[in-house]
Amino acid sequence: MCTGRVDLEFVIQAFLNGADGVFIGGCRLNECNYTTEGNYDALNMVLLCKRIMEHIGLNPERLRIEFMSSGEGNLFAEVVNGFSNKIGEIGPLGESEGIGHDELKSELERIVKLVPYIKVEKKDKLETHLRDPEEYDKLFSREEIDQLFSEVVSYYIDPDKCTACQICARKCPVQAIVGGKNLVHIIDQEKCIKCEECFKSCPSRFDAIRKIISEPVPPQILEEKRLIVR
Q: Give pLDDT tens digits for 169-187.
A: 999 999 999 998 999 999 9
Cβ atoms of 130 and 43 within 8 Å: the answer is: yes
pTM score above 0.75 = yes
State the chain's mean pLDDT as an integer. 94
Domain boundary among the residues 150, 172, 192 is at 150
CA distances from 98 to 49, 94, 121 (A): 20, 6, 30
- Is residue 84 domain-shared with residue 179, that is, in the same domain? no
pLDDT 10s digits, 87-140:
999 999 999 999 999 999 999 999 999 999 999 999 999 999 998 999 999 999
Rounded CA-CA distance 122/140 in Å is 9
Residue 209: give its domain's CATH number: 3.30.70.20
- d(CA 181, CA 47) in angstroms, rounded, equals 45
Nearest partner of 40 among 50, 31, 29, judged by Cα:
29
Give the chain's largest Cα–Cα span. 72
Q: Mark whether 39 and 97 lie in a shared domain.
A: yes
Looking at the fold, whether 186 and 104 belong to one and the same domain comes out as no
